[in-house]
Amino acid sequence: MKKYYILTILSILLLFPLSADAYKKGILLFNSQPVTKENALSDNMVFSEGQRVYYLFIAPKKMQNKFIRVQIFKMIESAPWGGNEIVRTKDFRLMKDERYYHSDYFTLYETGRYVMQVFSIDDLQHPLAVDFFYIK
């Protein structure tokens, strides 16, 4: 049933006209509830401390590699030239039916601006998707 919902969401999102760059890069959607076909298009960017942040990563094309790395870092405002601090890094194994997407959640307890990146494990220099969100 979950697979059906994710495939429906993917179909809906691919119907919208996206720029050529969006097809080269993946898409990250954030939500305060588990991602379903009903709430897939309500992308949230602001969350409370301790609130679960659900995300859906949609790959630009079928991934050949079985592993992805999800990395979250916090933008540090007090650094003189801007900076960041890695908060969380986790590797995930993708099953055969998950080669186009990945969905999970995490919880953060510090306010600030955060950036999430998703990498193919065989290319950690070029992220497949990058997006930001705030914890208030």
For 16-46, write each residue's pLDDT tens digit.
Answer: 444 444 446 899 999 999 988 888 778 899 9
Residues in a beta bridge with 105? 54
Strand partners, 84: 75
Residue 47: pLDDT band with limits 50, 70, 90: very high
**Mean pLDDT, residues 48-65 taken together:** 92
Reported as a single tens digit per residue, the pLDDT across 97-112 is: 888 899 999 999 999 9
| Mean pLDDT value of segment 122-130 | 94
Give the whole-angstrom CA distance, residue 127 versus residue 27: 11
Alpha helices by DSSP H, the chain: 2-15, 20-24
Dihedral of the CA atoms 133, 134, 135, 136 (nearest 10)?
-150
Return the number of other C-beta atoms located less than 10 Å from residue 6's C-beta: 22
Q: What is the DSSP letter of 111?
A: -
43 touches 133 (CB < 8 A)? no
Closest CA to 112 of 15, 42, 46, 59: 46
**94 contacts 63 by C-beta, under 8 angstroms:** yes
User: What's the confidence (pLDDT) of residue 40?
Assistant: 78
